Amino acid sequence: MRSHSKQVTIYLEPQLHQALKAKSIATQRTMSDLVNEMIRRQLAEDTEDLETFEQRANETFISLEVLRQTLFFNSSLAEKSE
């Protein structure tokens, strides 16, 4: 365990604990290392999602109904041109 690590108490469902323990044994890594990696990965994914939301914040909103009608109209035009 790293000296700069913080100790926390978490409660896992028995099946999750068993799976984590099995993965720890199979990969020869500590359960703490695995949990840290999983949390880092999830937080990075959340950051990517937030960045995408911010990038798309100024996009024009199109309702689902307008999108459906536009797609239907475009597919009708494509069929007529064939």
Give 77's pLDDT tier (boundaries 50, 70, 90): low
Neighbour count for residue 17 (Cβ, 10 Å): 13
**Using one digit for the tens of pLDDT, what is the confidence trace for 15-74?**
999 999 999 999 999 999 999 999 999 988 888 888 887 888 888 888 999 988 988 888
What is the rounded distance in angstroms from the CA atom of residue 77 to the CA atom of residue 70? 11
pLDDT confidence of residue 55:
84
Residue type, 26: A
Contact predicate 24/34, CB 8 Å: yes
Residue type, 29: R
What is the rounded distance in angstroms from the CA atom of residue 33 to the CA atom of residue 27? 11
More confident residue, 63 or 80: 63
